[in-house]
Each structure stands twice: as structure tokens, then as C-alpha cells.
């Protein structure tokens, strides 16, 4: 009976010693050489990103459509890794607490939807009922508004 118990213990010891991934100390090299013992998978979640190229050089220059109506557009190159919906808002510029050119301001973007890898987005601004009495005639490059481009990810088709 002692022999059977000894045999069971020996088999159990051999099973534990031969598990996968364990370093066999009796086979370790004499030199300090790195040994592979495991591989760990690396995973990540990829977020949404969007880039508008050359943002610093973008400007919408308004030209006169009629006596109190001005409009203008600019094109921008969009790069993205997802499907996006664009929109815009416009805010009047004030100087010394007064709107530089009072009027009705609006903006638009086209196309509103851009898919990966990107494309060209056109942003436009328009002023109707512009009150030009606040700015001296012949003024050049008058900063009257800021257009803010907004974006939200959407499901790709």
C-alpha cells in the first residue's frame, strides 16, 4: 500500500512539473540568455478622429450680393476615420460693446455628411440687412463674424 501511495505521489509530482509554460530549471542555459515564457495579447479601442487641414489659413471673405446682403464661402479638406455629420454656428464680432456690422447672420456647410477617409467641406456665411453705417466706407478686411464648425460621428452606411 505504501508503494501505491508513493507511485500516485510520483505521478502527481511529474504532472505538476510538466505543465505548459513553466521553466524547466534543469534545462536553463548557463549563460544569462532571455527565455520566452509567455505571450500577452495587446488590444485597444480606436476612437473617432477628424482633422481639418491648414486650419490657420482658412478665411471666409464676404462679397456684396446686393446693397445690404453679403455672402462668401471657403473650402476645407477634411480627413477622418469615421462617418461624420457637420454643422455650423455663427457669432457676430463686437468692438467696444457694439456689433461691428449689425444684421442677420447665417451659416451653412455642404455636404453635411462626410464618410471616411474624408473629403472637401464647404463652409459659407451670409449677412442680410447689414447696417453699414457703423463702419467707414472703404474699410478693408473688417472682421465681422466667426463661423464655428461642429461635428458628430454617425453610423456608416
The string of pLDDT tens digits covering residues 145-157 is 999 999 999 998 7
Give residue 85's pLDDT: 97
**Domain residues for 118?**
50-154
3-state secondary structure of 132: helix
Q: Read off the CATH number of the domain in which 72 is found.
A: 2.60.40
Domain contains 1 = no
Give residue 26's pLDDT: 67
Domain contains 34 = no
CA dist 67 and 76 (Å) reads 29
For cell 477634411, the residue is 78
> Residue 123 is placed in which grid cell?
463652409
3-state secondary structure of 13: helix
For the whole model, what pTM was predicted? 0.72
Domain contains 23 = no
CA dist 48 and 60 (Å) reads 27
CB atoms within 10 A of CB 14: 9
What is the tally of structural domains in the chain? 1
Give residue 31's pLDDT: 78
Give residue 43's pLDDT: 97
Low-confidence stretches of the chain (pLDDT < 70) are 1-26, 28
Give residue 16's pLDDT: 54
CA dist 87 and 78 (Å) reads 14
Amino acid at each position: 500500500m505504501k508503494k501505491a501511495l508513493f507511485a500516485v505521489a510520483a505521478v502527481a509530482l511529474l504532472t505538476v512539473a510538466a505543465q505548459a509554460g513553466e521553466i524547466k530549471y534543469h534545462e536553463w542555459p548557463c549563460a544569462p540568455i532571455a527565455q520566452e515564457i509567455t505571450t500577452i495579447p495587446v488590444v485597444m479601442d480606436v476612437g473617432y478622429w477628424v482633422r481639418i487641414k491648414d486650419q490657420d489659413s482658412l478665411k471666409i471673405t464676404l462679397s456684396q450680393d446686393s446693397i445690404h446682403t453679403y455672402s462668401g464661402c471657403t473650402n476645407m479638406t477634411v480627413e477622418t476615420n469615421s462617418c461624420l455629420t457637420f454643422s455650423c454656428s455663427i457669432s457676430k464680432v463686437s468692438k467696444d460693446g457694439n456689433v461691428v456690422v449689425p444684421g442677420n447672420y447665417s451659416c451653412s456647410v455642404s455636404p453635411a455628411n462626410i464618410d471616411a477617409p474624408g473629403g472637401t467641406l464647404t463652409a459659407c456665411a451670409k449677412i442680410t440687412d447689414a447696417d453699414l453705417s457703423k463702419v467707414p466706407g472703404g474699410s478693408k478686411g473688417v472682421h465681422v463674424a466667426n463661423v464655428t464648425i461642429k461635428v458628430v460621428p454617425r453610423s456608416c452606411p
